[in-house]
Amino acid sequence: METLNLPKFPFRTKTEDGKTYILDEQRKKYVKLTPEEWVRQHMVKYLIGYKGYPSQLIVNEGIVELNGMSKRFDTVIHDRQGKPQLIAEYKAPSVKITQKVFDQIASYNMKLHVDYLLVSNGLSHYCCKVNWGEDQYTFLHDIPECFF
C-alpha cells in the first residue's frame, strides 16, 4: 500500500484466497484491505495515538438514515455521553478531495449534528468546525485534540 502523510503504524493483516485483510480494531474483525481502508486504519490510529481520542468512543462503518435511505459513514467519534462529535470521510490516496466529498459528509451531518468534519485521502487532511448558529464552517489548521 501507498505511504501516507500520517505516521507509520503496525497493523495485523492476513491473506486468504489471494486477498489481503487488515484487522479493524474498532469493529473487532478483519476487513478487506483497500486503499480507502488503509487510510481509515491509519487515521483512526492517529486519532487515538496522537490526538488522544478514546478508542471505545470511535465507530467505524456505521449507518445513518437519510431521507429514508441507509447511508454508511466511515468514522464517527462520540463524546462520553454518546453524542457524536466528529465525523470523518476517507477516500483512497488516488482520489482528489473535492467539494463533492464535503457535500457527502455534510449530508451525513444533517442527521448527526456533529461539530467537527474531517476529510482525508491519507495525503491531504481537512478538518473544519461547524458553526451551527451561522450555518457555516471554519477550516482548522490541524485536527483538534480530544476535547471531552
CATH of the domain at 47: 3.90.1570.30
Q: What is the pLDDT of residues 96-133, one digit of tens each?
A: 999 999 888 988 888 899 999 999 999 999 999 999 88
In this prediction, residue 110 carries a pLDDT of 86
Q: How many domains is the chain built from? A: 1
**Residue at 4 is within a domain:** no
Q: What is the pLDDT of residues 17-35, one digit of tens each?
A: 999 999 999 999 999 999 9
**Residue at 127 is within a domain:** yes
**Residue at 144 is within a domain:** no
Say if residue 23 is exposed, middle or buried (CB neighbours under 10 Å; 0-12, 13-18, 19+): middle
**Residue at 3 is within a domain:** no
This prediction's pTM: 0.93
Q: What is the pLDDT of residues 36-82, one digit of tens each?
A: 999 999 999 999 999 999 999 999 998 888 888 888 899 999 999 99
**Residue at 145 is within a domain:** no
**Residue at 7 is within a domain:** no
Nearest to 118 by CA among 107, 108, 129: 129
